[in-house]
Structure 1
Amino acid sequence: MSNETKVGILAAAGIVLLVLGFNLLKGRSLFSNKKIIYAVYTQVNGLQPSNAVMVNGLTVGNVQSLEVMDQRAGRILVTLQISKKIEIPKNSVARISSDLLGTRKVEIDFGNTNEYLKNKDTIYADVAGSITDALKEQISPLVKKLEVTLGAVDTLLLTVNSLFDTTTKHNIRGTISGLNNTMSNLSVASRSLTGMLQEDGKIGSTFGNFESISANLKNNNDKISNILTNFDKASGTLANGTLDTAMNQLRFTVTRLNDMVTKLDSKDGSLGLLIHDKKVYNNLQASTSSLNKLLEDLRYNPWRYVHLSVFGRKNKVVPIPSDTAKYLQ
C-alpha cells in the first residue's frame, strides 16, 4: 500500500471521527434512533444547543438546534432531540425555564390526551418567567408605592417649610413665650392660693361669716315670706286696678297724639297748609321780610311817620342797612 493511500485513509478516518465528535459534543448521535420534536418560540430567553430537555426533573434529551424562521427573528424554530423511549401527549407544552444559576433548559409538561407526538411533530411552546422576572413583578408594585410615598413626603416637607418660614417661627416663639408667662402667672396664683389655704384664721372666719348669714336667713324665714306675700299682693293690686287705669289713659293719650299728628300731616287745617303749601310759606316769608324792613325804616327814619320838626326843616333820608347790603351785593 502506497503512502498516498495510507494518508487518504487516515484523513478520511480523521474526518469521520471529527464529525462524530462534533455531533457527540452537540448531543447528537448518528447511530441511535432518537425522536425529533419541533417547537416554535417568539423568545428563547438565552436557550443554547445541547441544553437539557427534562420531564418531571429527568433529562430525556437535549436541544439540537435553533433556527430563525424570518428576517426579524420573530419566530425561532427549536429542534428537540428526545433520547428516552417515552410517549409525549399531543397537548403537552415545551416550556423554556432556568435554574438558580441561570442555566436554560426545556421542561415538557405532559398533557392528558391519549394521542401522542410522533417523530418530527410540533409541540406547543411557552417561555416560563425567570427568577429575575418574578422579582421584577414583586418589586414593581413596591417601587410604585415607594414613588407615591416619596412624593407625599416631598409635599409634606414643602408644606412644613412653607409653614415654618421666618414670620411663622417668630410667631411660634412669641406664642411659646406667652405660654411661659401664663405658666408663671399660674404658678404665682397657685402659690397665692396655697398661702390662703394655709392661713386657717382667714378662711375659718370667712366660712363663719357665711354660716352666720345662712343662720340669719333661716331665723328670718317667716319675715321674708311675709315680705314676699305683701309684694305679691301689691303687684296684684297694681295689675288689677291702678295699673290698668294708667295704661288706659296712656293709650288714650297716644291715640289723641296720633290724631293730632295726622291732622298736621294733612292739608285740611291751617298748620297742615302752612307745612305743605309752599305758597303760604313764601307769602309768610315775604310778609316777615317786609315787616322787618318797616321796623328798620321806623328806627332809622322816624320823622317819616311822626313829624316833630319845630323849624320846618326837612330831615335827610337815611338808607336802611338791609337795602345798603342788597346794593353792595
Structure 2
Amino acid sequence: MKISNESKVGILTAVSIVLLVLGFNILKGRSLFSNKKTIYAVYTQVNGLAPSNAVLVNGLTIGNVLSLEVMDKQAGRILVTLQIDKKIEIPKNSVARISSDLLGTKKVEIDFGNTSEYLKNKDTIYAAVDGSITDALKEQLNPLVKKLEGTLTTMDSLLITVNSIFDPNTKNNIRSAVGGLNGTLQNLSRATHSINGMLADEGQIAGTFSNFEAVSANLRKNNDKISNILGNFDKASGSLANGELDSTLSQLRLTVARLNEVVTKVNSEEGTLGMLMNDKKAYNNLQTSLGSLNRLLEDLRYNPWRYVHLSVFGRKNKVVPIPSDTAQLQ
C-alpha cells in the first residue's frame, strides 16, 4: 500500500501538534495522564504568585498552581486554579494560604480544617494571604520608629533648652566657677602634700609611740607594788577597827582600781590616746604626774606611818628616805 506524500505530511503534522500540546502542558506543570483534581480559590491579592508554584500540605508538595485569572476589570478578585492529587482529601473548611520563604519564592499552603466533609473536583476553597517579610519587618520597626521620633523630639527640646541656658552671661559664670574650683583643688593638693610630709616624718611619730610605750611599761612594773600595798592594807584593816583608816584604805583602793582601769585602757590602745599623740604638753603633764605618783607610792611603802597616825606605845617613828630622793641627791 502506497501512502501519498500528502498523507505523510498530515500524519506528521498531527503528531507534531500532539507533541506540542503535551510539551506545553508539561512545561506548564500539567499532566494529561495523572489522576488530579482541580480546586479554585479567590484572592484579592496574590503577592506575586505565578503558575507552576507549589501547593503544599504540612510541607509536602501535593500539586501546583495551574492558572491565575482576573475576575473583574479592577483586578479586585483573582481566580487561582489549583491542581492537586486526587488521593488527598481536603476538608471543606480548610484554608489555602499564599506565603513565601526567605528567598521570596511564593507557594500555596493548605491548612486542613476539622470537618468530615471534603472538597470535590472544581470546588472552591477558602483563601487567605500571609503578610510578606517586608510587612513583618514594618510591623516590628513601627514601634521602634515611633520611639525614635519621640527621642529625637526630646533631644531637640533639650538642645533648645541648653542653647537658651548657655548665653554669654551663663558661660562667664561657669568659667568663674571653674576657676574657683581650680583654686580649691590646688589648696586641697597643698593640704594633701602637707599631710604626706607629716606622715613621712617618722621621727616624731616613732618618738611619741616610744614615750607611750615607756609609760605603759612603767605602770606595768608598778602594778606589783600596788598589789602588795593593797594586800598590806587589807591585813591592817582586818586587825584594826579604825574608821579613819578604813576610809583611807577605801579611797586608796578606789584610786588604785581607777589606776588599773587607766593601765588597761593604755595597754589596749583605747581612750584618749589618739589625742595625746599630738599634744606634747599633755604628755609632759602625764610624765610629771607619774613621777609624783611613783614618789608617793615609794614614800607610802617606806614611811606608811606618815599617812596613818597609829602608835601603840607612843613612840615616834623615824622617817626613812626613799631611794629615788637618795639617787637624786647623789
Q: In which range does the TM-score fall when normalised by the shorter chain?
A: 0.5 to 0.7
Aligned 8 A contact 2:35 2:86 in 1: no
Report the Cα offset of residue 188 of structure 1. Answer: 8.3
> Equivalents in 2 of 1:189, 1:60: separation in Å?
89
Report the Cα offset of residue 150 of structure 1. Answer: 2.0
Report the Cα offset of residue 29 of structure 1. Answer: 2.1
Who is 2:32 aligned against?
30
> Equivalents in 1 of 2:52, 2:194: separation in Å?
98
Report the Cα offset of residue 181 of structure 1. Answer: 4.4
Aligned 8 A contact 1:60 1:84 in 2: no
Secondary structure at the aligned position of 2:110 is classed as strand
1:20 correspondence with 2:22: yes
Which range moves more in the overlay, 42-51 or 175-184? Answer: 175-184
**Structure 2 CA distance for partners of 1:189 and 1:76, relative to 1, 3 Å:** closer
Structure 1 residue ranges, 4+ long, deviating more than 4 angstroms after superposition = 181-193, 203-206
Report the Cα offset of residue 191 of structure 1. Answer: 10
Who is 2:44 aligned against?
42
**Structure 2 CA distance for partners of 1:118 and 1:190, relative to 1, 3 Å:** closer
The residue type equivalent to 2:52 in the other structure is S
**Structure 2 CA distance for partners of 1:88 and 1:166, relative to 1, 3 Å:** same
Which range moves more in the overlay, 143-152 or 49-58? Answer: 143-152
2:74 pairs with 62, 72, 75, which one?
72
Who is 1:129 aligned against?
131
**Structure 2 CA distance for partners of 1:14 and 1:163, relative to 1, 3 Å:** same
The 5-angstrom pairing of residues 1-329 of structure 1 reads 1-181=3-183
TM-score by length of 1: 0.55
The residue type equivalent to 1:78 in the other structure is V
Structure 1 spans left out of the alignment, 5+ residues: 207-329
> Equivalents in 2 of 1:107, 1:192: separation in Å?
85
> Equivalents in 2 of 1:13, 1:192: separation in Å?
115
Structure 2 spans left out of the alignment, 5+ residues: 196-203, 205-275, 283-330
**Structure 2 CA distance for partners of 1:105 and 1:190, relative to 1, 3 Å:** closer
* Residues 139-192 of structure 1 deviation map (CA, whole Å, 9 limit, x = unaligned): 221122122112222222222222223322111001222344456677889999
**Structure 2 CA distance for partners of 1:5 and 1:159, relative to 1, 3 Å:** same
Which structure has the bigger radius of gyration? 1
Who is 1:304 aligned against?
none
**Structure 2 CA distance for partners of 1:39 and 1:189, relative to 1, 3 Å:** closer
The residue type equivalent to 1:116 in the other structure is Y
Aligned 8 A contact 2:49 2:107 in 1: yes
% of aligned pairs identical? 77
**Structure 2 CA distance for partners of 1:13 and 1:183, relative to 1, 3 Å:** closer
Aligned 8 A contact 1:61 1:84 in 2: no
The residue type equivalent to 2:64 in the other structure is N
Aligned 8 A contact 1:60 1:82 in 2: yes
**Structure 2 CA distance for partners of 1:16 and 1:191, relative to 1, 3 Å:** closer
> Equivalents in 2 of 1:175, 1:88: separation in Å?
83
TM-align CA RMSD: 3.2
Secondary structure at the aligned position of 1:81 is classed as strand
Task: Give the length in aligned residue pairs.
Answer: 206
The residue type equivalent to 2:148 in the other structure is L
TM-score by length of 2: 0.55
> Equivalents in 1 of 2:119, 2:189: separation in Å?
96
> Equivalents in 2 of 1:189, 1:107: separation in Å?
82
> Equivalents in 2 of 1:6, 1:46: separation in Å?
46
> Equivalents in 2 of 1:7, 1:17: separation in Å?
15
Aligned 8 A contact 1:41 1:126 in 2: yes
> Equivalents in 2 of 1:58, 1:192: separation in Å?
87
> Equivalents in 1 of 2:183, 2:110: separation in Å?
83
Aligned 8 A contact 2:29 2:66 in 1: yes
The residue type equivalent to 2:127 in the other structure is A
> Equivalents in 1 of 2:133, 2:193: separation in Å?
73
Report the Cα offset of residue 134 of structure 1. Answer: 1.6
Secondary structure at the aligned position of 1:82 is classed as strand
The residue type equivalent to 1:58 in the other structure is L
> Equivalents in 1 of 2:184, 2:153: separation in Å?
41
